[in-house]
């Protein structure tokens, strides 16, 4: 990938876990490291050939793309200095959880196009989910944003009103799944398996099952039923997960907690 849809410098303002994962995905997809400038107070290197500076560049060409990746509570720390450096043609892409487009527009009046994005950690290996929303992007800008995100995984446009839900499902979802893998391994160890063996088997089982689910036309529910013979051990285990207080309500409560927190962060950022 050449990022040819971006004609000019790419700035990553902040390069924490999520912005760093996006950067790794782009680089592994063939992007030129020289196209990127990372602005981070620590000045810590992020990869060979990538320029890292501790403050916003005071001179040089205007950035064509700015990925806003600082912590949401730092928005008003970076916005006053960053906003005057952006041109109307700069594409501003924000991955700040809970920070709404209207909040961004109040801080950044110049760029024609602001896109709010919610990636998840598997973008680092090109297997992520990236949800996009914009109230200013025309067809050309939307196509550019999609092309930028395509090497990172599944790209979906969404009404911003659903972003809190998307953030909880796809953005936080990998963390919830990691917990499930650990829990599956711990249950195996509690039942007598060596802990290290249980951990390896749980991880391989989840990875293989996810790959199979992605490759099949049948729904995951139908695949589960295919594994579970009537009256067999898998069916007995599914009966536990399918209880009224089982897996579905547990995950519903998990997502609800994350959604409410997203809404709290959005209110704080306004």
Q: How confident is the model at residue 251 (pLDDT cuts 50, 70, 90)?
A: very high
For residue 21 the two structure tokens come to 């994962």
Give me the long-range contacts of 177-185 (CB less than 8 A, separation at least 24). 177/206, 180/206, 181/206
CATH number of 173-265: 1.10.3730.10
**pLDDT tens, position by position, 106-137:** 999 999 999 999 999 999 999 999 999 999 88
Sign for the CA dihedral angle at 155, 96, 18, 172 comes to negative
Q: What is the dihedral of CA 64, 73, 52, 29, to 10 degrees?
A: -60
3-state DSSP call for residue 138?
coil
Q: Which CATH number fits domain 10-163: 1.20.1640.10, 3.40.50.1100, 3.40.50.720, 1.25.40.10?
A: 3.40.50.720
pLDDT, tens digit, for every residue of 189-223?
999 999 999 999 999 999 999 999 999 999 999 99
Q: Residue 240: its pLDDT value, please?
A: 96
Whether this model's pTM surpasses 0.85: yes
Domain boundaries, the chain: 10-163, 173-265
């Amino acid at each position: 990938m050449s990022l040819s849809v971006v004609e000019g410098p790419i700035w990553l303002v902040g390069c924490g876990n999520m912005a760093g994962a996006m950067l790794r995905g782009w680089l592994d997809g063939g992007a030129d490291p020289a196209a990127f400038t990372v602005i981070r107070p620590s000045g810590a290197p992020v990869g060979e050939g990538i320029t890292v500076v501790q403050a916003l560049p005071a001179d040089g060409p205007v950035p064509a793309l700015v990925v806003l990746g600082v912590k949401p509570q730092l928005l008003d720390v970076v916005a006053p200095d960053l906003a005057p450096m952006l041109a109307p043609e700069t594409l501003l892409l924000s991955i700040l959880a809970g920070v709404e487009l209207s909040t961004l527009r109040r801080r950044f009046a110049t760029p024609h196009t602001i896109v709010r994005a919610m990636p998840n950690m598997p973008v680092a290996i090109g297997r992520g989910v990236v949800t996009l929303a914009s109230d200013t992007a025309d067809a050309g800008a939307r196509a550019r944003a999609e092309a930028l995100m395509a090497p990172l995984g599944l790209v979906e446009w969404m009404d911003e009103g659903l972003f809190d839900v998307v953030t909880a499902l796809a953005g936080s979802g990998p963390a919830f799944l990691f917990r499930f893998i650990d829990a599956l391994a711990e249950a195996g160890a509690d039942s007598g398996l060596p802990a290290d063996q249980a951990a390896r088997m749980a991880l391989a089982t989840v990875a293989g099952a996810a790959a199979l689910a992605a490759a099949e036309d049948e729904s995951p529910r139908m695949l589960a039923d295919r594994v579970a013979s009537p009256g067999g051990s898998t069916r007995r285990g599914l009966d536990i997960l399918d209880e009224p207080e089982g897996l579905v309500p547990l995950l519903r409560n998990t997502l609800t907690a994350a959604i409410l927190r997203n809404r709290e962060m959005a209110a704080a950022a306004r």
